[in-house]
Structure 1
Amino acid sequence: MKNIVWISLLLGVAYAQQEYKFCAPIDTISDDACYALQRGESKVSCFRVTDSAECAIRLAQGKADFGVFNAEELLLAYQFYPLDISPIFQLRHRERQEEEFEFQTVAVVPADLTQKAVSPDERLKQLKNGGFCHPGFSKSQWWNDYILKHFERTVISPHCQDNVTVIENEIRSLRDFFGKACRPGEWAADSSIDQELKNKYPELCALCDNQATCSYNNKEKHGHFGAMECLARHDGKVAYVALNYVREYFKTNATFQFLCPNGNILPLKTETPCAWLKQPWSVVAARKEIAKDLKIDLWKWLKPSLPFGFKENDWEIALNKIIQDDSRAFNLTEMSLATYLSKGREIDISNIETCGKTIRWCTIGDLETNKCRWVARAARALDVQPNISCSKSNSTFECFRDIAENRADIITIDSNYGYLARTVYGLSTILYSETETDKNSVIISVVREPKDNNYPIKNFHDLKNRKACFPEYGGIGWLNFINVARSNGIISSKSCDYPLLVSKLLSGACSPGVEDTDHTRTPISSDVSSKFCSACRYQNNTSCAVNETNRYYSDEGAMRCLSEGAGDIAFVKAANIIEKTIDSNMYRILCKNGSLAETPGFKFDEFCALSVTIDSEVGIIFLKLFNLYTYIHIFNVCVWAHAYIYISVVQCIKSNKLQCFFQLVGRKDDTQIFRTDTFLALLKLENWLGYRVSPRRSIHIYGPFNGTFNLLFKDSTSGLVSTSSMKKSVLAYKELFSHVDQCSTGSFAATTNFVLVILITLYHFFFSHN
């Protein structure tokens, strides 16, 4: 009995001394704050996480105990852990403690709109062709697209047309319903597309003070005052704005009323206005198992215990500063996440209707697929369109095949795979991943430092009958070698048969993967592939594979190939070998200008490196619409069925406007529409989940996920840039592929010329027999 008592007492003491782990996102809580929180006999320690998504995961796993979530973060956490996390305190702004919600969105209409006795449903229909005053889209406010578009999405049923982009479907539907509007700000995440839409649909800027810039003169309160001025001068019949701004601007003006989601109306002076969306306040949330006990302790630490709110312990002061800096904690009765959120938000975001084809993101392994699912749900909650789904695979090459065979659509690839993606699998680039300057992909060529200063390779012309070490066949090191060989005239710049050209130049090479079907479009002759593997099969190394069985695979392997004498020169990515090479003085760089570096080692600048480029890109399948089969197939259908398409072809030929024919065929799969939708969706994701001036985001799309780096995007990514970017590293990367693209274009031109001859011949044959 005594033992039981002692055990109970020890357990009680252990529990009393329990240290709670508080989620501390690295972007929002500083190291200093964490150090202060853990001073003295603190009962709380910082548990570092990347973002609120990781905090939710750690709470569900039991590795952390509590954290602070805003409504958007809580909504995302609910999608994965609806029962594992409990809100325990609500955090209301110190100056708005009497308000039940952080904000509420309302629709305001003129009172004369509602004078006629009509049903609530008819009242919503009265908005048609009445004009719409919208506060606008700006990065300075925290209303995301879901909130900003909630009213219009509810009033207007989506009309999806396949021949236009998702954003144009949205804009067209707005124009067709409201007639005119002022909808300021960025409609599309790309400035050129945004301007094209504003030029095409000027009606949606017609009610603005400045129609040319599609903006209000009064931008106070993030454009909400401008929207209410638009309504007040009777330019539009409805304004969608924040409730607190309505009360500030209109006060209880009897000439305006609230329009409710059910079509009813209420006076502005009502104490219970009808909102279209109610945003819950931020909360302190805990893992469910300890929520009750933590709530008791936390309330003691957060509640002022001395006059004027002073605390005795430094760590309690720090905890209050972190949690209640500009807010005050309010006790919540025990409830689920669903109960808390559903008071003002729609929590089942899977049923939101969207236009456009779903973007199928190809992912590699469970970890990346899991991050993709979080990003996809976050995108849905932010109203990023089209929807995103995640297609799990086992390797980059499996993803390439899935995309080529229409089982997936996009993948982010290391720059090392750019050549293979284009030449073997027919992929092209949607966006480039902008790289932090010190993490660019820098390729160098390295030779051994001879003991007698007698360099067998002093320039690139000395590569004749030498052996080269490549990290991987078709990789970025291989492509840099091809470019420098062409520019120095040691291989022909007119031929596209790189394997044959290189095999004639070198006496041997180690090119891991050259015998792998993943790395070649068509089988390479045994003589060529044997030469490209000859340096790999040196001494005890017998493998030419792209895995650990080949000690000369990868950048480190290529340096090993060089140091062990299997090859005479290596083409490698600097970042992968500099810190891992034992003695850099054993090597010297052969610079881009064809001269050896002045000193041994890996000291170089951008003029010495073969290339300094971006580190990764987002690729998509490029459907080759202009191929022989397509032409002959469509032509036969048109000829024998006498379809209208054939008439268009004839008219084009008669008027010598053959380009009309190509444009017609190009519409077969609407590829450009999907590419644009994907391009804009990824840019919108970056706006909300990438690096922001204000760091609060539900999940960091470029950062680590659940403690793992390089998932979906490489950790070197700082943002996304378009294929037309003039950024130096992007231009350098594109320059690497200039000849590859020329080869593809030349092949295409030969095919189209041949097809045109057939078409014109058949055209004359057809008319000569009619």
Structure 2
Amino acid sequence: MKSASVIFVLVCGVNIVFSQGSGNDGNLRLCIVEGRGSYKRAARHCPTLDQEDSKVECVLGTDRLDCLRRISKGTVDFGVFSPEDLVAAQWARVDVLVTNELRSKPKPFERSVVAVANRRILQDGVTTLHAVIQNATLCHPGVGMDDIRPMSDTLSGYLESLVLERACDPKLSLTENRIKALAQFFGKACKAGPWVPDQWRDAELKRRYSSLCAACAGRCDTNDPYWGNQGALTCLAEKGDITWAELEDVRTYFGLTQREGHASADRFAYVCRDGSFMDLDGSEPCVWLHRPWPIIVAKRKSAVAVAALASSLRDGSVLVDRHWRGALAALLEIHLGLPDPLQPPLTPMDYLAKAKGFREAYSQSGCDPPRHITLCTTTILEKNKCEWLNEAGSVYGIAPPLQCSYGADTQACLQAVQDGRSDVVVTSSEYLVAAMRDYSVAPILHEATPIVEKASTVVAVVRADAAITDTSSLKGKRASFPTYDGVAWHSALRYFMTKDNITCSDMGHYFTEICAPGIENYNVTRNVVKQFTKNCYVDDGNILSGEIQALRAVVEGKSDVAFISMGTYNMYTAQQINEDWASSREKLVPVCPEENKKYCFISWSNIGHILAPRNLTAMRRQEIINVFTKLDQLFGKHYPFHNAMFSMYGQFSFKLNILFHNNTKMLATDDMLNTHPYDNIPLNLERSLRNSNMNSCHSSDFLGNFGANLNPSILLLVVSLVFFVLRI
């Protein structure tokens, strides 16, 4: 009866303070982040909260940091978070309180990391940790994408930092500095699993620092018998000297629980951070690091109500309750742990301070001078997302950290990269050729998608009644482009020059008329502007640009062919363009190149690119690739390892395609173009740029065709495959 009375009081307390919620009629609003599997908690359980007047409302968040921002702004009241989320909240000065822990076992911390050593390396008497384990054989549990197992890069780096001197060789990346220091300190080791995401670089590092794989039983990857928590303990039992491991795993492995163990405990001991050691069967082993439990976090104004509500769910019967309490328990994932109330609720800093080493792991000093990678952004929203991406990445030990700068537009950011004021900029394929030509940059990574229709494609579209059946029939026709100097422009230029084996000057006889809006923004004469835009649409004196206008020109008969993306063509055929001219339902067809009947486009490229200076050192190139591919692994779409803390490719502040494209599947180097399925898709723009001479077209090839000189500042634009030549 006593527990029932407590629950009754708590429920009454919830009803009393519900008016402090941010929802309708003072309801408490719960922020939910859906997983990536087929089971959708919100769709199944949120309607129950509404139907039964639970006084709780669901709000779907993009990721957990999105939910934290909403709680801080007061638009939602609470949610479930990891202790790593609290680190990001603390750094970002998000004002929230921790109201309940979600404990799945009766112990104060979810994880307790200890060091276990073979007694043969231990020395009696006072000594130092350094003296005990230097030149020993390390069985490293490895690093994974999961928060828990084997361990995050941050926690692994922290444990290593308690043993190693910090290495800051300016000629090496920060990652290689860590690996080299580990190899120099230990005699040999098994550090199985990936060291960096890029497999070629990973193989190179493992060849260079082979001693860190010398103690492995296999290939030093995730299939090695010594990889992971269990593998590291097996390594220790069979050949190693020391390892870091989860305390519970150690007790199970060495037979210190009721389950049968795998090795004799008397041959091993816990090693403490001061170099002393303790028997494995001791009741209070020395712990190097604690990781707290997941928690419920609330805004200050709603903290009392949230704590009371969560505490009312501590009765195990709610897990089978088919009413709103059972639905709320499922949404809060109570099945993973009962909500233990914190009295009073704590700030993130105070809550994390209880866990030995955890806060310190996220406060490690860097090299001096500090390193960073400056990403130039073109909007305030992009800059905000960049900063939150940096917070999330820093929590997981990704170094060097991002630094986010701001440029007025893409050209300003490209100039900043060229001048050395920024390191990288993210652009779409629309800017790829112009950026490489004018700003001495090149793609260091690509935003890739395996779905061809979602890539950046260029297709030639004509009216079905035009009797144009192949690309050869396009010669002498009227052409419309979305914009001058963009991806469609350069794709058509390169395709026809290659297909017909013609020169730059020959292109002056290819199309009779052309619409290439945007030329008016370049430093060219009026005569040039007229020739490039006389067949374009104009509104209030402004020349209209974009794929929709190029497509419209073909529908209305102003042009014979439009060079647009397959996506825009599919929108038209699906009647998804809400314009009067599109209602005519004029039948359009793509003109398929002979060499690409399957996909029908004349060009495809990745949807976005991370551009960096051409003259990067090998070390700096590796560092940038490592940082962004690690961010991609953690916060991209690598199911089931996607970390719901942050979504690189998800919406941000309710907007799509901020900083990165939402259709991006992964970040990849140029090597992706040589792998399946990309190597089998013809007419790739990036490959053609990489394998051809960029300076094959010169101004002298066509200046006479216009009967006018270009201004000197435009000459750079002319070089490197810039202008289609028009016959006047």
Q: TM-score scaled to structure 2, two decimals? A: 0.81
Q: Is the 8 A contact 1:614 1:733 kept in 2?
A: no
Q: CA deviation at 1:242?
A: 1.2
Q: Is the 8 A contact 2:459 2:565 kept in 1?
A: yes
Aligned to 1:250: 254
Aligned to 1:560: 552
Instruction: Show CA shifts across 1:570-607 (max 9, x none).
Output: 21123235231624742533513379xxxxxxxx9744
Aligned to 2:282: 270
Instruction: Show CA shifts across 1:666-708 (max 9, x none).
Output: xxxx622211221122221122111221554210111112322
> What CA distance in whole angstroms lies between the structure 2 residues aligned with 1:310 and 1:447?
61
Residue segments in structure 1 that go unaligned for 5+ positions in a row: 1-9, 518-522, 544-549, 596-603, 624-669, 749-770
For 1:129, the aligned partner's letter is N
Residue from 83, 97, 100 that aligns with 2:108:
100
Distance 1:349 1:739, change over 3 A: closer
Q: CA deviation at 1:103?
A: 0.5
Aligned to 1:3: none
Matched, 1:617 2:609: yes
Larger mean CA deviation between 435-444 and 317-326 belongs to: 435-444
Q: CA deviation at 1:718?
A: 1.4
Matched, 1:325 2:275: no
* Paired residue secondary structure (2:134): coil
Residue from 448, 455, 475 that aligns with 1:440:
455
Aligned to 1:86: 97
Matched, 1:744 2:690: no
Q: Is the 8 A contact 2:318 2:325 kept in 1?
A: no
> What CA distance in whole angstroms lies between the structure 1 residues aligned with 2:318 and 2:190?
47
Q: Is the 8 A contact 1:460 1:488 kept in 2?
A: no
* Paired residue secondary structure (1:412): strand
Aligned to 2:644: 697
Matched, 1:426 2:440: yes
Matched, 1:387 2:367: no
Q: Is the 8 A contact 1:160 1:169 kept in 2?
A: yes
> What CA distance in whole angstroms lies between the structure 2 residues aligned with 1:560 and 1:151?
62
Q: Is the 8 A contact 2:49 2:327 kept in 1?
A: yes
> What CA distance in whole angstroms lies between the structure 1 residues aligned with 2:594 and 2:270?
75
> What CA distance in whole angstroms lies between the structure 2 residues aligned with 1:512 and 1:234?
70
Residue from 210, 216, 228 that aligns with 2:233:
228
Distance 1:540 1:698, change over 3 A: closer
Aligned to 1:631: none
Q: Is the 8 A contact 1:614 1:729 kept in 2?
A: no
Q: Is the 8 A contact 2:378 2:408 kept in 1?
A: yes
Q: CA deviation at 1:227?
A: 2.3
Aligned to 2:671: 724
Q: How does 1:269-668 map to 2 (within 5 A)?
A: 269-300=281-312, 302-304=313-315, 308=317, 314-323=323-332, 324-334=334-344, 335-344=346-355, 345-346=358-359, 349=362, 351-353=364-366, 357-435=371-449, 437=451, 438-448=453-463, 453=465, 455=466, 460-461=471-472, 463-464=474-475, 466-489=477-500, 493-495=502-504, 502-517=507-522, 527-536=527-536, 542-543=541-542, 550-551=543-544, 553-563=545-555, 566-576=558-568, 578=572, 579-580=576-577, 582-583=582-583, 585-593=585-593, 606-623=598-615
* Paired residue secondary structure (1:333): strand
For 2:665, the aligned partner's letter is S
> What CA distance in whole angstroms lies between the structure 1 residues aligned with 2:551 and 2:187?
66
> What CA distance in whole angstroms lies between the structure 2 residues aligned with 1:117 and 1:146?
33
Instruction: Show CA shifts across 1:64-89 (max 9, x none).
Output: 1110001222222222234x111111
* Paired residue secondary structure (2:692): helix
Q: Is the 8 A contact 1:362 1:410 kept in 2?
A: yes
> What CA distance in whole angstroms lies between the structure 2 residues aligned with 1:216 and 1:481?
47
Aligned to 1:661: none
Q: CA deviation at 1:176?
A: 0.9
For 1:279, the aligned partner's letter is R
Q: CA deviation at 1:134?
A: 0.9
Instruction: Show CA shifts across 1:36-56 (max 9, x none).
Output: 333312221211111101100
Q: CA deviation at 1:443?
A: 2.1
> What CA distance in whole angstroms lies between the structure 1 residues aligned with 2:187 and 2:18?
70
Q: Is the 8 A contact 1:128 1:179 kept in 2?
A: yes
Distance 1:736 1:244, change over 3 A: closer
> What CA distance in whole angstroms lies between the structure 2 residues aligned with 1:554 and 1:721?
28
For 1:619, the aligned partner's letter is L
Aligned to 1:63: 75
Distance 1:144 1:422, change over 3 A: same
For 2:377, the aligned partner's letter is T
Q: CA deviation at 1:561?
A: 3.9
Q: Is the 8 A contact 1:182 1:215 kept in 2?
A: no
Distance 1:91 1:566, change over 3 A: same
Larger mean CA deviation between 156-165 and 458-467 belongs to: 458-467
Matched, 1:707 2:654: yes
Identity %: 25
Aligned to 1:134: 140
For 1:240, the aligned partner's letter is W
> What CA distance in whole angstroms lies between the structure 1 residues aligned with 2:353 and 2:676?
46
Q: CA deviation at 1:175?
A: 1.1
Q: Is the 8 A contact 2:634 2:641 kept in 1?
A: no
> What CA distance in whole angstroms lies between the structure 1 residues aligned with 2:225 and 2:689?
53
How many residues align structurally?
Answer: 649
Larger mean CA deviation between 428-437 and 361-370 belongs to: 428-437
Q: Could you say which structure has the larger radius of gyration? A: 1
Q: Is the 8 A contact 1:183 1:204 kept in 2?
A: yes
Q: Is the 8 A contact 2:150 2:229 kept in 1?
A: no
> What CA distance in whole angstroms lies between the structure 1 residues aligned with 2:18 and 2:689?
73
Distance 1:737 1:501, change over 3 A: farther
Distance 1:79 1:507, change over 3 A: same
Distance 1:430 1:740, change over 3 A: closer
Q: Is the 8 A contact 2:632 2:666 kept in 1?
A: yes
* Paired residue secondary structure (2:482): coil
Q: Is the 8 A contact 1:447 1:562 kept in 2?
A: yes
Aligned to 1:18: 26
Q: TM-score scaled to structure 1, two decimals? A: 0.77
For 2:521, the aligned partner's letter is D
Q: CA deviation at 1:287?
A: 0.7
Q: Is the 8 A contact 1:446 1:587 kept in 2?
A: no
Q: Is the 8 A contact 1:442 1:613 kept in 2?
A: yes
Distance 1:231 1:101, change over 3 A: same
* Paired residue secondary structure (1:346): helix
Q: Is the 8 A contact 1:89 1:283 kept in 2?
A: yes
Distance 1:274 1:745, change over 3 A: farther
Q: Is the 8 A contact 1:350 1:380 kept in 2?
A: no
Aligned to 1:642: none
Aligned to 2:168: 160
> What CA distance in whole angstroms lies between the structure 2 residues aligned with 1:329 and 1:717?
37
Output the aligned Cα RMSD.
Answer: 3.3
> What CA distance in whole angstroms lies between the structure 2 residues aligned with 1:86 and 1:44?
19
> What CA distance in whole angstroms lies between the structure 1 residues aligned with 2:272 and 2:480?
71
Residue segments in structure 2 that go unaligned for 5+ positions in a row: 1-14, 257-264, 699-728
Q: Is the 8 A contact 2:158 2:364 kept in 1?
A: no
